[in-house]
Structure 1
Amino acid sequence: MVDLRSLREDPQTFREALRRRGRDPSLVDQALELDRSWREALQEVERLRAQQNRASEEVARLAPEARGQKIAEVRELAARLKELEPEVRRRREELERVLLLFPNPPHPTVPDGVGEQDNVVVRTWGTPPRFDFQPKDHVELGLRLGILDFERAAKVSGSRFYYLLGKGALLEMALVRYALDRLLAHGFVPVIPPVLVRPEIITGAWGGATFDPQQTYRVAEDDLALIGTSEQSLAGFYRDEVLDAQRLPVRFAGISWCFRREAGAHGRETRGLYRVHQFDKVEMFSFAHPERSWEEHEFLVSVEEEILQGLRIPYRVVLLCAGDLGTASAKTYDLEAWMPGRGGYGEVTSCSNTTDFQARRLNVRFRERGRTEFVHTLNGTALATSRVLIALLENYQQPDGSVRVPEALVPYTGFERVEPAA
Structure 2
Amino acid sequence: MIDVKHLAENPDLYRASQRAREDDESLVDQIISADAERRAALQSFENLRAEQKVLSKKIGPASGDEKQELLAAAKELSANVKIAEAQADEKQRELEALNNVFPNLIAEGIPAGGEENFSVLKTVGELPEFDFEPRDHLELGEMLDAIDMERGAKVSGSRFYFLKGVGAQLEMALTQMGMAQAAEAGFTPIMTPTLVRPEIMSGTGFNVEHDDEIYRIEKDDLYLVGTSEVALAGYHADEILDLSDGPIRFAGYSTCYRREAGAAGKDTRGIIRVHQFNKLEMFIYTTVEEAEAEHERLLAWEEDMLAKIEVPYRVIDTAAGDLGPSAARKFDCEAWVPTQQDYRELTSTSNCTTFQTRRHNVRERLFKDDGSRAGTRMAATLNGTLATTRWLVAILENHQDADGSVNVPTALQPYMGGKTVLEPVA
Q: Quick check: TM above 0.5? A: yes
Is the Cα–Cα contact under 8 Å of residues 119 and 319 in structure 2 kept in the other structure?
yes
Q: Matched residue of 1:267: which SS?
A: coil
**What is the aligned partner in structure 1 of residue 37 from structure 2?**
37
Q: Please name the residue that 2:11 is paired with.
A: 11
Question: 3-state SS of the aligned residue for 1:43?
Answer: helix
- In the other structure, the counterpart of 1:375 is 379
Instruction: Check whether the contact 1:100–1:207 (CA below 8 A) recurs between aligned residues.
Output: no
- Please say which of residues 33-42 and 283-292 is displaced more in the overlay: 33-42
Partner of residue 306, structure 1: 304
Corresponding residue to 1:408 among 405, 408, 411 = 411
Correspondences of 1:204-353 after superposition (within 5 Å):
204-208=203-207, 210-353=208-351
SS of the residue 1:72 aligns to: helix
Q: 2:349·2:385 contact (CA, 8 Å) conserved in 1?
A: yes
- Structure 2, gaps ≥5 residues long: 368-373
Counterpart amino acid of 1:216? I
SS at match of 2:60: helix
Q: Could you tell me whether the CA contact under 8 Å between 1:202 and 1:211 is conserved in 2?
A: no
SS at structure 1 position matched to 2:274: coil
Distance in structure 2 (CA, Å) of the matches to 1:391 and 1:18: 35
Structure 2 residue aligned with 1:75 = 75
Aligned 8 A contact 1:330 1:352 in 2: yes
SS for the counterpart of 1:94 is: helix
SS of equivalent residue, structure 1 residue 136: coil
User: Aligned to 2:235, what secondary structure does the other structure show?
Assistant: coil
Q: Structure 2-normalised TM-score?
A: 0.96
1:199 aligns with 2:198: yes
* Partners of 1:293 and 1:165 in 2: CA distance: 40
Tell me which amino acid in the other structure corresponds to 2:187: F
Amino acid at match of 1:194: P
Give 1:122 deviation, angstroms. Answer: 0.3
Q: How many residues align?
A: 419
Cα separation, partners in 2 of 1:137 and 1:102, compared to 1, 3 Å: same
Contact 2:362-2:379 at 8 Å conserved across structures: yes
Letter in 2 for 1:111: P
Q: Which residue of 2 is the match for residue 111 of structure 1? A: 111
**C-alpha distance in 2, partners of 1:65/1:136?**
97
Amino acid corresponding to residue 181 of structure 1 in structure 2: A
Question: Root-mean-square deviation (CA), in Å?
Answer: 1.3
Task: State the SS of the aligned residue for 1:221.
Answer: coil
Provide the TM-score with structure 1 as the length reference: 0.97
1:167-178 equivalences in 2 (<5 Å): 167-178=166-177
Aligned residues of 2:4 and 2:31 also touching (Cα < 8 A): no
The DSSP-based 3-state class of the residue aligned with 1:83 is helix
Tell me if the contact between 2:254 and 2:278 (Cα under 8 Å) persists in the aligned partners: yes
Distance 2:182 2:402 in 1: 34
Q: The residue matched to 1:156 in structure 2 has which SS?
A: helix
**Cα distance in 1 between the residues matched to 2:41 and 2:186:** 51
Instruction: Say yes or no: does 1:96 pair with 2:99.
Output: no
Whole-angstrom CA distance in 2 between matches of 1:268 and 1:61? 79
CA distance in 2, matches of 1:153, 1:229: 21
4+ long deviations beyond 6 Å: none
AA matched with 2:241 = L
1:421 aligns to 2:419 (yes or no): no
Does structure 2 retain, via aligned residues, the 8 Å contact 1:203–1:211?
A: no
For each residue in 1:99-134, what CA deviation from the matched residue of structure 2 results, as whole angstroms up to 9, or x when unmatched? 11110111112112222x210110111111111111
* Contact in 1 for aligned 2:192/2:254 (Cα 8 Å): yes
Alignment of 1:346-361 (within 5 A): 346-361=344-359
1:15 is displaced (CA, Å) by 1.5
Unaligned runs of 5+ in 1: none
Measure the CA separation in 1 of the matches of 2:31 and 2:66.
48
For residues 131 and 275 of structure 1, what CA distance do their matches in structure 2 show? 26
